[in-house]
Amino acid sequence: MNADNPNTVLVTGAAGFIGSHLCEALLARGHRVMALDNLSTGDTAHLERLLGHKGFTFQKRDVGLEPTPEMSQAGRVFNLACPASPAHYQQAPVDTVLSSVLGAWRLLELAQRSGARLLHTSTSEVYGDPEQHPQREDYWGHVNPNGARSCYDEGKRCAEAMLMAYRQQRGVDVCMARIFNTYGPRLSPGDGRVVSNFIVQALQGDDLTIYGDGQQTRSFCYVDDTLRGLLLLMDSGEVGPVNIGNPGEHTMLELAEMVLRLTGSRSRLVFMPLPQDDPRRRCPDISLAKSMLGWQPEVALEDGLQRTIHHFRGLLGARSVTVA
């Protein structure tokens, strides 16, 4: 049993946006990190500066496969393996649902054998197109079970159910964070998420693509804040689910105007059709995260966007990007 070996940490989805930041944070805290990723949406370039670190190993591997014996050395497991951008997960719905469901199952079996604590990254998408606002953890959600987004939403909901089943019946040590839209450096410039799309479009002088009338809202959390929430949840003995998100709510038109102002861009706004089942409003109630973990976001949207714009300026200096 490795529950008393929290120093070795397994991170799945390690080459992705949040996963790569998490690996860095864990190494900085002195952990040994075993990183796993099938590189479907991730990029080893995100891990380049970690590859020489003696506490870091990387394996190209699917989370749905039988875990290797080495993986049972981990006392803690962070499961992030799943495409997160709507453009990506809708291109590969089978892989998406299997990543969530089979991935959670494999890691729960592993944790049951090894005694590891498993943190699963769930999502605000479990609330679907919510009828309650802001969303509290005790809201059951309003999800289309077989629509364009269901491979992601229902995959994550099934994973939550499986975590609770393994906890109740088999005593596995689990916890889950419902992450709301997170942004920051290393968002993939071509994966179609709104923050990267708008910044890339603004910096390249292209039209900013507003889907629908732009009145739909999201609440954007800077990646450092999200990471801090995940680490606090892992360090706590809590189960959750707990919302990790920034309660500052903005329309997509407001976001576009802010990006134009911060980049100094003269790009125009163009309106395009709203994708199917696109949630109209989304904002976390973070009372539970505050009371349970003493967590709340610290980075204001403008500051986080400045840092993200700085990152993309460097990236785009070298190449031009077509957004999804």
Interface residues with ligand UDP (CB under 6 A) are 86, 181, 192-194, 197, 209-211, 216, 218, 252, 275, 278
Round to whole Å and give the CA distance between 203 and 300.
Answer: 21
Q: Which of these segments, 8-16, 107-115, 251-259, 314-322, binds ligand NAD (CB under 6 A)?
A: 8-16
Three-class DSSP category at 233 = helix
44 binds ligand NAD (CB under 6 A): no
Round to whole Å and give the CA distance between 201 and 154.
Answer: 31
Is 166 catalytic? The answer is no
* From 89, 127, 152, 166, active-site residue: 152
> Do the Cβ atoms of 262 and 225 come closer than 8 Å?
no
| Residues within window 45-84 making contact with ligand NAD, judged by CB under 6 A | 62-64, 80-84
> Do the Cβ atoms of 237 and 117 come closer than 8 Å?
no
91/236 with CB nearer ligand UDP: 91
> Do the Cβ atoms of 209 and 201 come closer than 8 Å?
yes
User: In this structure, how many other beta carbons lie within 10 angstroms of the beta carbon of residue 117?
Assistant: 22
Binding-site partner at residue 62 among ligand NAD, ligand UDP, none, CB < 5 to 8 Å by type:
ligand NAD
| Residues within window 92-111 making contact with ligand NAD, judged by CB under 6 A | 99, 103
Site string for ligand NAD, 154-193 (x = CB under 6 A): -------------------------x-xx-----------
Site string for ligand NAD, 215-254 (x = CB under 6 A): ----------------------------------------
Minimum Å gap between C-beta 143 and ligand NAD is 14
79/197 with CB nearer ligand UDP: 197
194 binds ligand NAD (CB under 6 A): no
> Do the Cβ atoms of 295 and 224 come closer than 8 Å?
no
Nearest alpha-carbon partner for 275 in 91, 123, 124, 142: 91
Round to whole Å and give the CA distance between 223 and 285.
Answer: 18
What are the φ/ψ torsions at residue 77 (nearest 5 degrees)?
-130, 125
293 binds ligand NAD (CB under 6 A): no
CA angle 318, 323, 324 (to 5 degrees): 140
